[in-house]
Amino acid sequence: MKKPKNVAMIGAGIAGIAAALRLRKQGLEVTVFEANEKLGGKMAEVIGNGFRFDRGPTVLTKPEYVEELFSLFGKSASDYWKHKPVDPIFKYFFEDGTVINSSRNREQFADEIAEKTADSKESIFKFLDDVEKTHHLTDEVFLQRSLHQFKNYLDWPTARGILNFGKVDVFRSMNTANQKRFKDQKVIDIFNRYASYNGSNPYWAPATLNVIAHYEITLGTYFSEGGIYTIIDALKKLAIEQGITFRSNTPVKEIIYSGNTVTGVRTDSGQEPFDVVVSNIDVYNTYKQLLPEFKAPKRFLEQPRSSSVIVFYWGIQREFPELGLHNMFLTDDAKAEYQHLFELNKPYHDPTIHMTISSKMNASDAPAGCENWAALISVPHDSGQDWDEWIAEARKNVLAKLSRILNTDVEKLIVFEDILDPRKVNVETNAAFGAVFGNASNSMFSAFLRHPNFSPKIENLFFCGGTAHPGPGIPLCLLSAKIASELIAEKFVSRQSK
C-alpha cells in the first residue's frame, strides 16, 4: 500500500500535538489545523490583573508519557519542560473541621486515615494493593492498544485480561466496592470522588475506576513548573523543530472523502488534499459538523454524556497557609450531589469544590501576598438550561461554603474573576454539549463504547483525544495519540517498508 505523503491533524489539543509528533517520527508530513489562536485545546490559560490560571486540567500524573515524546527524537525533556512531585497531593476539607492529606507515602497516608477516621491503616494498604492489581490487569489490554481490532484479542496479555475480567471489579459500582472496603463515610467520599475525574457517577460507574487512585497516589502526582500550559509550549517547540506545520485560527469546515476514503479537508481557504486525516476534536462534532452527510455511528455517539463544570477563577488578595496546591471541600451528602447531577439534571446546592492554587508552587502566578484560586464544581452538561441563573446561584453557594470552612469572608478578597461554564466549554473547545469528558463511564461496558481510534467506515480517517479510546485526561489522551499513530504506521509505514 502506498505510504501517505501528508497528514491533516484537526485540532491542537495535547493528543493532536502528540500524535503529530509520532507521525512525524514515522517520516510523514503533518499539518495541524487549530481553530483558536493558541494551541492546547482544554489545556488553556486564563491571565488577568497579574494572575495566571490553568484553564483546564490541573492534576498531572504519568509525566513519563510526555517525556517519551522528546525521547523519540533523541531529546531530553528537561531541556524543554520541568516538573516536580507534589506532596501532600490533596487536602480534603470536611464541614466538621476534619482535614485529611493524601500522600504518595503509603505509610503517611494510612496513618492520616487511621488517625482522623474510623478506618484502619490496613484498609488503605489493601485498597492501594487492589487498585495496583487492577492497573496491572487493565493497562496493557484496555489502555495501551485498540479495543476495536480483533487481532488484539488473540495474544496473551489480552487473554489474561479477559480471563481476569471479574478481578478488575467491573461488576459492582465504585460506591458499592468502597462501602465494602471502608467504614467511614469520609474515606468512602474521598475515593468515590475519582469518578468525577472523567465526569461520571460513582453510584453507577464500575469500581474499576478506582484504579485512578493508583495513578494519583502510588505512581504519584506532579506539578508542571510554570503551569500545565508549559507542556503545550514545550511540545509545540519540539514539533516546530521537527518540521510540523501549525495553522492557528484555521478551523476545518469539512472532511472530504470520495467513496469511502478520505481525500482531504476544507477550510475557509478552500479544499486541500491529504492522504490521512486525524481528528483531535470531539468525536460527536467530527461527525455532526465535519461529516454532515455521513451516517454517524449511533452506537458510539448516542451514549450518555459526561458531566460538565463551572469554574470560578478568582484572584484572592490574601494568602491562606492552610491551603495547598490541590484542595477539595467535600459535600456532606455526596449521594444527593450525584443524584442532582445525573438524575435531576441540575447543580447541587452544597457542591464539592475542587480548588487548585498553582501560586502555591509557582509564585509568579499571583502578585505578592495573593493567591490564584480555581474553584471547580461539577454540573450537568449543557442541554439548554438557564446558565446565567445557575452560575449566580453556584457562585453564592461556593462562596458561602468556602467562607464557612475557612472562617473568612472570601468574597471581599476577590480582586479578579473569570468564569468557565458549559457554554464556554462548548465554544472554546468545541466539546459537544459542554460535556468536558465526552461520554460518561457509568456502565461496565463504557470502555468498549468510546469511539475507536479509527473510522470503521471511512478509510484513512483516525481519531485521538479525550472523546476517543481510551478516554479523557492527560495520560489517556497521550495514549490515544500513541494508539492512533501506531494504527497509521501499521497500515501504511510498516507495509511500505516490507
Percent of the chain with pLDDT over 70: 91
Dist CA 230 CA 63 (whole Å): 13
Average pLDDT over residues 262-282: 96
Read off the pTM.
0.93
- In this predicted structure, the answer to whether residue 149 has a pLDDT above a threshold of 60 is no
Dist CA 129 CA 134 (whole Å): 9
Whole-number average pLDDT of the chain: 92
Average pLDDT over residues 137-153: 62
Cβ atoms 328, 398 nearer than 8 A: no
Average pLDDT over residues 482-488: 95
Question: Can you give the chain as a three-state secondary structure string?
Answer: CCCCCEEEEECCEHHHHHHHHHHHHCCCEEEEECCCCCCECCCCEEEECCEEEECCCCCEECCHHHHHHHHCCCCCHHHCCCEEECCCCCEEECCCCCEEECCCCHHHHHHHHHHHCCCCHHHHHHHHHHHHHHHHHHHHHHHCCCCCCHHHHCCHHHHHHHHCHHHHCCCCEHHHHHHHHCCCHHHHHHHHHHHHHHCCCCCCCEHHHHHHHHHHHHCCEEEECCCCHHHHHHHHHHHHHCCCEEECCCCCCEEEEECCEEEEEEECCEEEECCEEEECCCHHHHHHHHCCCCCCCHHHHCCCECCEEEEEEEEECCCCCCCCCEEEECCCCHHHHHHHHHHHCCCCCCCCEEEECHHHCCHHHCCCCCEEEEEEEEECCCCCCCHHHHHHHHHHHHHHHHHHHHCCCHHHHEEEEEEECHHHHHHHHCCHHHCCCCECCCCCCHHHHCECCECCCCECEEECCCCECCCCCHHHHHHHHHHHHHHHHHHHHHHHHC
- In this predicted structure, the answer to whether residue 445 has a pLDDT above a threshold of 90 is no
Average pLDDT over residues 106-120: 98
Based on the number of CB atoms within 10 Å of its own CB, is 331 exposed (0-12), middle (13-18) or buried (19 or more)? buried
pLDDT tens per residue across span 181-239 = 999 999 999 999 999 999 999 999 999 999 999 999 999 999 999 999 999 999 999 99
Average pLDDT over residues 323-344: 97
- In this predicted structure, the answer to whether residue 398 has a pLDDT above a threshold of 60 is yes
Point out which residues pair with 149 in neighbouring strands: none
- How many residues can be counted in the chain? 498
Amino acid 300: pLDDT: 75
- In this predicted structure, the answer to whether residue 154 has a pLDDT above a threshold of 70 is no
pLDDT tens per residue across span 249-267 = 999 999 999 989 999 999 9
Amino acid 498: pLDDT: 40
Dist CA 31 CA 186 (whole Å): 49
Q: Report how far apart, in Å, the C-alpha atoms of 64 and of each of 106, 221, 222, 318 are.
A: 22, 12, 11, 35
Long-range contacts of 367-371 (CB under 8 A, 24+ apart): 367/50, 367/51, 367/315, 369/317, 369/318, 369/319, 370/50, 370/51, 370/315, 370/316, 370/317, 370/318, 370/319, 370/415, 371/316, 371/318, 371/319, 371/320, 371/323
Amino acid 147: pLDDT: 58
- In this predicted structure, the answer to whether residue 409 has a pLDDT above a threshold of 80 is yes
Grid coordinates representing 432 are: 459537544
Question: Does residue 415 or residue 165 have the better pLDDT?
Answer: 415
- In this predicted structure, the answer to whether residue 40 has a pLDDT above a threshold of 80 is yes
Question: Does residue 266 or residue 442 have the better pLDDT?
Answer: 266
The verdict on whether omega for the bond into residue 367 sits within 30 degrees of 0, i.e. cis, is no
- Please, which pLDDT band fits residue 150 given cuts at 50, 70 and 90? very low
Cβ atoms 208, 168 nearer than 8 A: yes
Cβ atoms 410, 390 nearer than 8 A: no
Q: Which phi and psi angles does 187 have, rounded to 5°?
A: -70, -40
- Please, which pLDDT band fits residue 162 given cuts at 50, 70 and 90? low
Dist CA 327 CA 193 (whole Å): 12
The verdict on whether omega for the bond into residue 88 sits within 30 degrees of 0, i.e. cis, is yes
Domains, the chain, in order of start with CATH, read 1-83+224-303+439-498 (3.50.50.60), 110-217 (1.10.405), 308-432 (3.30.519)
Point out which residues pair with 278 in neighbouring strands: 9, 462
Stretch among 130-134, 238-242, 395-399 having the lowest mean pLDDT: 130-134
Question: Does residue 166 or residue 345 have the better pLDDT?
Answer: 345
- In this predicted structure, the answer to whether residue 88 has a pLDDT above a threshold of 80 is yes
- Please, which pLDDT band fits residue 159 given cuts at 50, 70 and 90? low
